[in-house]
C-alpha cells in the first residue's frame, strides 16, 4: 500500500496534507494489518514514518525558502521606501530653503481661509502674527487701498504689493504670492522723470519753431479780420483759418503738457463700452478727406478699465487723427476702430487705416519724441500715446506692411478685477 503524497507550493498546505495522509493511512493500516506478522507490520510502520519525515522535511525546506524570498522582497521594498522617504525629505528641505530665500511673500490658506503656513518674506511684509490668523483679518489689519493704486494694493505703511492667487489641488485652500513693487515703481518713476527731463531739452529747442509757424499764420488771419475793407466771404474764410491754426496750437500745447507731465493719475473705473461711446463722440470733430469713412466695431464683451478717462480719450484721438492725416492720397479713405477683449484679462483698442503706411523699420523711431514725417507735425502724438499706455500698465504697438499699404496701431490695457485683495 503506497503513502499519498502532499503536492503544494506552500509549506503550510503540505503539512496539512501530510496530517491528512497520516489519518488516512492509520485507518487503512488498522483494516489491512489483521493477520499480518508483527515484524512485517513494524517494517511498514517504520517505512511510513520515514516517508512522513521526508515529507515534513521537504515542506519545511520549502517553507523556509518561501520565507527567505519574502524576506528579501520585504528588504528590497523597505530600501525603496526608505530611499523615497529620504528623497521626499530632501525635496521638502529644498522647498523650505527656497521659500525662506524667496524675496516674495508666500502665504498658504486652508479651506476656511486661515493662514496655515507662510515664509519670512510674508512676515516682513505683513507683520506678525500670521500663522493661524484669518486672511480677512490680516487684510483689515495691514492693507489700506488708495485711489491711485492701479493694479497694486497699498499697505498702511505706504508700500505697494502685487498680489497673485491660485487654488491648491482638490480645492483644499489657496496660495497667495505677495510681491513688493514699491522700489520698482519708484525706480520706474525716476527713470521716466529723467527721460522726460532729457527730452525737455529737445522740447525747448523745437518749441519756438513748432509754435511760431501756426502762431504766425493765426496772426496773419487775425490781421485780415481787423481790416474794414474785407468782404464777408473772406472774413468767414479768415475766421475759419484762424480757428484752425488756434486749434492746432491748442493740440500742440496739450501734447507737450501731457508728455511733460508724464504719468496721469488713474482714478476712474470705467466700462470699455463707455470708453467706446465717449471716444466715438469725441472723434466726430476729427477732420479728414471729404469722403472719409470711420467705422467703429466692438465685440460687446463687458469689461472694466482702471484709467484716466481724459488722458485715454486724448491718446485715442491722437491715433485717429494720425490715421486720418495719412489718408490724403487714398482713393477710398477708411479708418477702422476696434474695441475688443481678445485675451482674458486684457482689452485691445486697434486703429487701422488704408493710407500711406510706412516702412517696417520706421516703427521704433515713430514713437520717439519729436520725430515726425509730417511737415507740420510736432513728433509728440505717438510719444504721448505710448506714455499714456505705460501709465496705465499697458502696451502700445504700431505696424505697417510698407509704404502705401496702410498702418495699424494697437493699444493693449489690463482689465480691472473687482475681487480686490
d(CA 208, CA 196): 18
Residue 338's pLDDT is: 95
CATH code of the domain occupying 265-421: 3.30.565.10
Annotation: CATH topology of 102-180? Beta-Lactamase (3.30.450)
How remote is the C-alpha of 27 from its chain's centroid?
A: 86
Strands (DSSP E) found in 211-312: 268-271, 293-298, 304-307
Residue 31's pLDDT is: 45
d(CA 217, CA 213): 6
* DSSP 8-state symbol, 300: -
Strands (DSSP E) found in 33-185: 105-109, 115-118, 153-154, 160-167, 174-180
Residue 200's pLDDT is: 66
Nearest CA-CA partner of 200 in 367, 370, 318, 364: 370
Q: Is 13 in a helix, a strand, or coil? A: helix
Residue 2's pLDDT is: 41
Nearest CA-CA partner of 311 in 394, 397, 370, 249: 394
pLDDT in tens, the chain (421 residues): 343 444 444 444 545 454 455 455 445 544 444 556 777 778 788 788 888 888 888 888 888 888 888 888 898 988 888 888 888 888 877 877 777 777 888 898 988 889 988 888 888 888 888 888 999 998 888 888 876 666 788 888 888 888 888 888 776 788 888 988 888 888 887 887 777 777 666 666 555 656 666 777 778 878 878 887 788 888 888 888 888 778 767 766 766 666 656 555 566 788 999 999 999 988 887 777 888 889 999 987 788 888 888 888 888 988 998 888 888 888 888 999 999 998 888 899 999 998 888 877 777 767 665 656 655 555 667 877 888 888 888 899 888 887 878 899 999 999 876 554 4
Residue 3's pLDDT is: 39
Domain ranges of the chain: 11-95, 102-180, 184-262, 265-421
How remote is the C-alpha of 410 from its chain's centroid?
A: 20
Q: How far is CA 8 from CA 52, 65, 390, in A?
A: 15, 14, 83
d(CA 399, CA 360): 7
Are 308 and 267 contacting, i.e. CB atoms less than 8 angstroms apart?
Answer: yes
Residue 295's pLDDT is: 92
3-state secondary structure labels for all residues of 352-391: EECCCCCCHHHHHHHCCCCCCCCCCCCCCHHHHHHHHHHH
Q: How many CA atoms lie within 13 A of 131 on its CB side?
A: 5
Q: How many CA atoms lie within 13 A of 265 on its CB side?
A: 5
Residue 9's contacts (CB-CB under 8 Å, 6 or more residues apart) are 62
d(CA 41, CA 45): 6
Q: Is the dihedral of CA 314, 342, 304, 338 positive or negative?
A: positive
How remote is the C-alpha of 280 from its chain's centroid?
A: 31
Class of domain 184-262 (CATH, top level): mainly alpha
Residue 401's pLDDT is: 80
Q: How far is CA 301 from CA 253, 409, 416, in A?
A: 36, 21, 13
Which residue intervals of 102-181 are DSSP H helices?
A: 120-126, 135-142
d(CA 277, CA 406): 25
Q: How many CA atoms lie within 13 A of 149 on its CB side?
A: 22
Amino acid at each position: 500500500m503506497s503513502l499519498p503524497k502532499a503536492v503544494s507550493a506552500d509549506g503550510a498546505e503540505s503539512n496539512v496534507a501530510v496530517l491528512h495522509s497520516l489519518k488516512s493511512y492509520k485507518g487503512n493500516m488498522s483494516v489491512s494489518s489483521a493477520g499480518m506478522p508483527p515484524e512485517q507490520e513494524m517494517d511498514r510502520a517504520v517505512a511510513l514514518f520515514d516517508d512522513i519525515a521526508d515529507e515534513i522535511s521537504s515542506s519545511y525546506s520549502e517553507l523556509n525558502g518561501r520565507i527567505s524570498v519574502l524576506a528579501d522582497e520585504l528588504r528590497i521594498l523597505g530600501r525603496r521606501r526608505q530611499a523615497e522617504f529620504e528623497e521626499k525629505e530632501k525635496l521638502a528641505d529644498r522647498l523650505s530653503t527656497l521659500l525662506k530665500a524667496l524675496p516674495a511673500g508666500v502665504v498658504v490658506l486652508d479651506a476656511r481661509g486661515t493662514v496655515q503656513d507662510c515664509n519670512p518674506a510674508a512676515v516682513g511684509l505683513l507683520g506678525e502674527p500670521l500663522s493661524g490668523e484669518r486672511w480677512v483679518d490680516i487684510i483689515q489689519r495691514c492693507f489700506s487701498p488708495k485711489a491711485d493704486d492701479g493694479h497694486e494694493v497699498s499697505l498702511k505703511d505706504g508700500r505697494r504689493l502685487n498680489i497673485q492667487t491660485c487654488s491648491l489641488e482638490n480645492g483644499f485652500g489657496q496660495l497667495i504670492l505677495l510681491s513688493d513693487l514699491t522700489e520698482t515703481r519708484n525706480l520706474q518713476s525716476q527713470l521716466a522723470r529723467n527721460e522726460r527731463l532729457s527730452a525737455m531739452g529737445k522740447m525747448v529747442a523745437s518749441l519756438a519753431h513748432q509754435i511760431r509757424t501756426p502762431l504766425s499764420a493765426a496772426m496773419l488771419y487775425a490781421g485780415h479780420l481787423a481790416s474794414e475793407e474785407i468782404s464777408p466771404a473772406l472774413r468767414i474764410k479768415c475766421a475759419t483759418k484762424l480757428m484752425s491754426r488756434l486749434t492746432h496750437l491748442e493740440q500742440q500745447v496739450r501734447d507737450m503738457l501731457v508728455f511733460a507731465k508724464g504719468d496721469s493719475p488713474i482714478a476712474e473705473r470705467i466700462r470699455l463700452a463707455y470708453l467706446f461711446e465717449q471716444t466715438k463722440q469725441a472723434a466726430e470733430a476729427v477732420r479728414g478727406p471729404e469722403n472719409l469713412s470711420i467705422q467703429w466695431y466692438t465685440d460687446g464683451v463687458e469689461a472694466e478699465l482702471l484709467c484716466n478717462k481724459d488722458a485715454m480719450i486724448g491718446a485715442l484721438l491722437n491715433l485717429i487723427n494720425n490715421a486720418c492725416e495719412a489718408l490724403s492720397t487714398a482713393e477710398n479713405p477708411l479708418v477702422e476702430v476696434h474695441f475688443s477683449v481678445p485675451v482674458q484679462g486684457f482689452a485691445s483698442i486697434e486703429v487701422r487705416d488704408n493710407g500711406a503706411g510706412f516702412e517696417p523699420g520706421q516703427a521704433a523711431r515713430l514713437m520717439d519724441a519729436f520725430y515726425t514725417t509730417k511737415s507740420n507735425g510736432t513728433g509728440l502724438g505717438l510719444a504721448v500715446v505710448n506714455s499714456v499706455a505705460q501709465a496705465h500698465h499697458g502696451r502700445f504697438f504700431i505696424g505697417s506692411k510698407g509704404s502705401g499699404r496702410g498702418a495699424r496701431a494697437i493699444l493693449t490695457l489690463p482689465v480691472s478685477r473687482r475681487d480686490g485683495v
